[in-house]
Structure 1
Amino acid sequence: MLTKLEQAKQEWGGTSHIIDNWLNDRQKVLVEYCELAGLPPYNKEQHSLPSLEQIQAFCQSLVDYMSTGHFEVYDQVVSECESHGEQSAKLAQDIYPRISDTTDSALEFNDKYADKIDDEAAEDFDHDLSQLGQIMEQRFELEDQLLATLHQKHLQPEA
């Protein structure tokens, strides 16, 4: 996911201040995810649950990222796509509901883990975090499809 993020930054970086900030927020979420999951280079030496503070920080970054997408970036991207032809508008209309589904899953994770972790949640954490990683990967791919369409047909880098 981090490799794809770097590719996205190289391809679309500089096209829009909003998109640049959003990709930086994506990086923050991914780094925090890797830390929680104990993925390289953040391998866990012990197989214990991350601290509640780490989980809360990740959940806050995740919700912030999702919110920025829905309330700032998507509106701009979808309106640009709609104003530049039926094919672009159809793509945006097809992808947006699929992105919304990933938001629901991320919010469920947040609701389950952001405030406290009871014994049942502690048992489910690794599985739920793994599923969230898959959902995030799907979401990033869908977002990148929107950005690719917009960039290819409509955006020019800012001077």
Structure 2
Amino acid sequence: MLNKLEQLQDKWGGHSATIDHWLQARQQLLIQYCELIGLRQTAPCLPEQHQVTQFCNLLMDYLSAGHFEVYDILVSDDNRGTALKHDVYPQLARITDEALSFNDAFATELQVADSSRFDQQLAALGETLEDRFALEDRLINHMLEQHGAQSIQQAQQAKTD
């Protein structure tokens, strides 16, 4: 996932401050995820609650930024953009629900009895995030290939007006 992110940053980095910031947030989320996975592979105990809480906070911030700041500026109202919305948005909503379930289950209280369930849900969340990133990448690619960075800037300006 980090390699794909680096490729995306190399390809589209610098075209939009909003996208750059969002991709940096994705990178931080992935780093925290990898740290949690790494902890689970090297130790037979659960991670510290503050580590899980920090990851969940990053996860919620990332999800929120996508839904409330980024998605609307990435999809134009042309025929291809509208078709992309109808294809991608329901999948993003489903993935968001799965991520919210993880957050609800583990963000504030992690019990020793939750160990195997935590492992399973953390692994499932990783797969879910990989699917989400692929969908989001489609949105980024659509907007930048079809309309260029200037369209994103115009969409951002229209959103703030």
TM-score of the superposed pair, with normalisation by structure 1: 0.89
Report the aligned-residue RMSD.
1.7
Residue pair 1:77, 1:146 contacting (<8 A) in 2 also: yes
Show the counterpart of 1:88: 81
Shift of 1:75: 1.5
Q: Which amino acid aligns with 1:27?
A: Q
Residues 115 and 27 of structure 1: CA distance in aligned 2, closer, same or farther (over 3 Å): same
Deviation at 1:118, TM superposition (A): 2.6
Do residues 61 (structure 1) and 54 (structure 2) align? Answer: no
Question: In structure 2, what is the equivalent of residue 11 of structure 1?
Answer: 11
Q: In structure 2, how many angstroms separate the alpha carbons of the residues matched to 1:35 and 1:121?
A: 19
Q: Does the Cα contact within 8 Å between 1:112 and 1:121 map onto a contact in 2?
A: no
1:151 to 123, 137, 144: 144
Report the Cα offset of residue 32 of structure 1: 0.1
TM normalised by structure 2 equals: 0.88
Give the counterpart letter for 1:48 in structure 2.
Answer: C
Query: C-alpha displacement at 1:122, in angstroms?
Result: 2.4
Task: State how far apart, in whole Å, the 1-side matches of 2:126 and 2:88 are.
Answer: 19
* CA deviation after TM superposition for structure 1 residue 44, in Å: 4.6
CA drift of 1:88 comes to 2.1
| Residue 21 (1) aligns with residue 21 (2) | yes
Deviation at 1:4?
0.4
Deviation, 1:43, is 8.0
- Indicate the residue corresponding to 1:45 in structure 2: 42
Paired positions, count:
151
Counterpart Cα distance in 2 of 1:104 and 1:43? 24
Query: More helix by proportion, 1 or 2?
Result: 2
1:103-122 alignment, distance < 5 Å: 103-122=96-115
Q: 1: distance between equivalents of 2:67 and 2:53? A: 21
Alpha-carbon offset, residue 49 of structure 1:
1.2
Deviation at 1:92, TM superposition (A): 2.1
User: Post-superposition shift, 1:136?
Assistant: 0.1
% same residue: 42
Structure 2 unaligned blocks of 5 or more: 154-161
Q: Residues 88 and 135 of structure 2 are in contact (CA less than 8 Å); yes or no, is this contact kept in structure 1?
A: yes
